Structure formats: C-alpha cells, structure tokens
Amino acid sequence: MRRALFLAATLLVLPVLPAAACEQIPIAARVIEGPRFKLVVLSDPMPIPLNAPFAFDIRLCDARMAELPRLVRVDAWMPAHRHGMNYAPSLTKLDWGHYRAEGLLLHMPGEWEFAFDFIALEREEQLSFRFDAQ
C-alpha cells in the first residue's frame, strides 16, 4: 500500500514528456509550426463538423521542458463576418503539454480562424489556423 502510494507520488512529480505522442502524429491532425514548439490539433469527431459540437485534442510538441508554454484559451471566429462562436469552449489540462477543449461549435459555413493563446514565462503568444467549414 505504502509503496503504491509512493509510486503514484513519483509519477505525479516526474515531468512526463509528451514526446511519444508527438512522434506518431495522426495524419488527420492539424500541425501548426510555432517559433518554439509545434502545435498538434486533432478534432473529435473527425473531420470538424458544421453546426454540431466538437472537441479538440491539443498537444504541444518539441518544446523545451523548461519553457513549456501554458495553453490558456481556445477560440474561433469568422474573419469575413466579424463574429465569433456562440459558445465558450472549456479547457482541461490532461498532461504536460496535452489539453482537451470541449464545446466548440461552428454555426455557419465558410472560413473560420481558430486561435490558441499561450503563456510562457509571462509572455503571451498566439498560434492560429484557418478552416473552411462545409
């Protein structure tokens, strides 16, 4: 019992690098190359549906552990129409550099831009990609 607890404790303390998941990136994933890390985004369901809720599985890959940024916000808007979603996604940290965003919904066909906001060492940065919802 004591040993099991100890083991669990070390598992919690040791930084588990997301390396493994980053080596086998599914073909369906969207990969965005940032200046200091790579963002790998997978939608659930696949592909991103129009006018139905979906989630994002989000991984930060190839970051130096010491400066692994924290994902603080996921959002989407339609640049041509100047409006965002009617829903606020929730963000859950699953692991180091591994998040799940729930409650996204694109209510119009056309071009959407997804934005991912990070904070690393008190510095904010944003990565984004565009998607044509049909």
Partner 1 sequence: MMLFRVWLALLLTVTACRAQAVEPPVFDATQLRLIRSFGPWPPAFHPDTGNPLSGRPSAVLLGAALFGEPRLSKDGGIACQSCHQPQQGWSDGQARSRGLERLDRNAPGLLDSRLQRWFGWDGASDSLWAAAIRPILDPREMGGSVVATATLLRGDPVLACLAGHAADGAQLAQNDEELLVLAARALAAFQETLVSPRTAFDDFRDAVLAGDRDAMARYPASAQRGLALFTGRGQCATCHSGPAFSNGEFHDTGLPFFITDADGVRRVDPGRHRGIARLKENPFNRLGRYNADPGSAAVIPVRHVVQQHRNWGEFKVPTLRSLLFTAPYMHDGSKPDLESVVRHYSELDEDRLHSDGEAILRPLRLDRQEIDDLLAFLGSLSASLDAPAADYAARRADARRLCP
Write down the least CB distance from residue 30 to Cu ion, Å: 21
Of 83, 94, 95, 111, the one binding partner 1 (CB under 8 A) is 83
Yes or no: say if 32 and 16 are a contact pair by the CB < 8 Å rule: no
Does residue 108 touch Cu ion according to CB under 5 A? Answer: yes
**What does the alpha-carbon distance between residue 92 and residue 101 come to, in Å, rounded to a whole number?**
6
The binder of 49, among Cu ion, partner 1, none, by C-beta within 5 to 8 A per type, is none
The b/e string for 7-32 (b: 16+ C-beta within 10 A; e otherwise) is eeeeeeeeeeebeebbeeeeeeebee
Does residue 65 touch partner 1 according to CB under 8 A? Answer: no
Q: Which residues of this protein are in contact with partner 1, per CB under 8 A?
A: 50-53, 78, 80-84, 86-90, 102-103, 105, 107-110, 134
